Amino acid sequence: MHIDISSGLLSSARYLASPNCDERPDDKDVSLIVVHSISLPPNRFGGDGIDQLFTNQLDPQEHPYYKEVYEMRVSSHLLIRRDGSLVQYVPFHMRAWHAGESSYRGRDRCNDFSIGIELEGADDIAYETVQYRQLNEVIRLLCQTYPGLSHERIVGHSEISPGRKTDPGPAFDWRLVDEQLA
């Protein structure tokens, strides 16, 4: 597994381009990793819902919850599915629309300088061991590729959007990330 610096793509990920991205204000400023969780429909895993949401193709008739989110224009750089497979939606050097209204250490607009990694999961359902393994490997590669990143600059969505977001939630075991990177 490696990151192609010219394309911003992870070699082992299936690439499915999201239109929900744009240029970063400073493409050399990649200095934060934001860990998220997502499942569509909520608390159900597998299927194409996440791919459809990030590519603006979610059918609101397919599930009642989709009526609430199908018009959202969001994306993430990478998804780690329950089985450990990887899907990349936005090249790492581009700005994905994953953090929304957010702030990290007094700096607003985290999308400008962060990489968003989604774990297929839910706040209160344990994540799979293979997801932690993949997350750790991806973080290692990102830290090697982007000098502004380190294991000290990894946060949950809830930390940069408190009161608005709760993911990756209490079921996410941060010790499994820290132990692997230390």
- Which amino acid, one-letter code, is at 51? D
Burial pattern 108-147, b for ≥16 Cβ within 10 A else e, equals eebbbbbbbbbbbbbbeeebbeebbebbbbbbebbbebbe
Among the options 118, 120, 128, 137, which is catalytic?
118
Please answer whether residues 119 and 80 qualify as being in contact, where contact means their C-beta atoms are separated by less than 8 angstroms.
yes
Catalytic site residue 118? Answer: yes
Residues with catalytic roles:
118
